[in-house]
Amino acid sequence: MPYIEDRIVHDADSHLMEMSDCLNPYFEKTLLKRFLAHPNLGVRVGNRLAVEDAQKRQQDTEFRAKAGDNIMLRKNYEAHGAFLREDRPAAVDHIGVASQLVFTTFCLGNFGFDQSGDSDLCYGAATAHNRMMTDFCSVDKRLLATAYVPLEDFGRAKETAKTAIDMGAKALMVPSWCPQNHSPSHIGLFPIWAMAEEAGLPILFHVGGEEKLNPTYKNNGLPAVPDFHGGDANFTSVTYLPISTSVQQTLATLIIDGIFDQFPKLKWGVIELGASWLPGWLRNLDSAAHAFQKNEARLRNLSAKPSEIAQRQLRVTPYPHEDTGWIIKNSHEDMCLFSTDFPHVEGGRNPLKRFGETLNGLPAGTLDAFYAENFIDMMGNGLEPELRRPNSM
């Protein structure tokens, strides 16, 4: 019996749990040695013995026999289908979702290469990542591979996006952190947006590609505060708070500079960056437009109020600990998406229950939008027609 029953649900956020050598088979041979020796190398699998132990358990017949009963309880490398691609279709069956967007875990942020000034490694690592993701997801059409496109170099970004689409990627992920030498709204990036719009694929932002909290905030003279995983490299209450700052600024720039209007059929998604910021941000956008419209032709040239443009083209995943019902009531019913964050600890063991508790009393159409319809709309051609409403009830 699957975890989710009696409802069509699409999962807007799931992950691959990579091994430490995950990119090696996919890297250009001329770059691999430089990549492995680079001080920015960020592929880490945590406690090596714990990972090796999990690998052994995934080969144990008795352990595997209980995969379905524990599909939302086992996390990270313990989870079924976390790193063995042949197991992932069964994991999707056990969860009961119609499709899953699949993201990397250890390649988020592209190891800081976007900011390193090393264009070869920046785009080489991105392309290796894209090969890995499309390969992993190739075993089942319900697995929707995300490909990363650094925005630092106009020509190479265009080439990387085209290659990713040709590989079969179902969405293009870009950083929410502003490129070093130009705005994300720069006309030099128009070919990427045009390619995605023509292919009917969304542009996604995901946690990991944002500007991080100034680490000096952690220097309070006290012991380090543990995160979800027991270390201090992931989120704590303080480092969690600014994770949406970059994406709010980037999206505002894209809307106000007319990029959403320039590509009106292109959909954008904000994944695992929370959504409690959404209602206030929409109001703030309109407030900025009202205050500066007289002096800025770009504001007068917009097709609608900025909040209405965002409603038309932007979709966002709340965290299960947020009050999703409040977010929807104070933004729009067609903007929020369901997600599990499988197999990460942060996604929790019962996201369906946690989301559902905040959605009580909302109309059936609003619930259908949250669990499926908004995702279908965002994914466009990235989601095959037969996957959109399978066995529609």
Q: Is residue 142 part of a domain?
A: yes
Residue 5 lies in a domain: no
| Other Cβ atoms within 10 Å of 200 Cβ, number | 15
Query: What pLDDT does 104 receive?
Result: 97
What are the pLDDT digits (tens) for 202-219? 999 999 999 888 989 989
| Residue 21: CATH number of its domain | 3.20.20.140
pLDDT of residue 213: 87
Low-confidence ranges of the chain (pLDDT < 50): 393
Torsion of CA 4, 323, 74, 17, to 10 degrees: 100
Kindly report each contact of residues 38-43 with a partner whose C-beta sits within 8 Å and lies 24 or more positions away, as own/partner. Answer: 38/111, 38/113, 38/118, 38/121, 40/111, 40/112, 40/113, 40/116, 41/111, 42/106, 42/109, 42/111, 42/112, 43/18, 43/106, 43/107, 43/111
Pairwise CA distance, residues 83 & 127, whole Å? 19
pLDDT for 212: 87
Whether 315 is in a domain gets the answer yes
Residue-number span of the structural domain to which 59 is assigned: 10-388
* 372 within domain boundaries: yes
Which pLDDT score is estimated for 284? 98
Task: Decide if 340 is inside a domain.
Answer: yes
In a domain, 261, yes or no: yes
Q: What is the pLDDT of residues 141-177, one digit of tens each?
A: 999 999 999 999 999 999 999 999 999 999 999 999 9
Number of domains observed in the structure of the chain: 1
- The per-residue pLDDT for 4 is 97
Cross-sheet strand order for the sheet of 143-148: 10-15, 99-103, 143-148, 171-173, 203-206, 268-271, 314-316
Within-domain flag for 161? yes
Residue 324 lies in a domain: yes
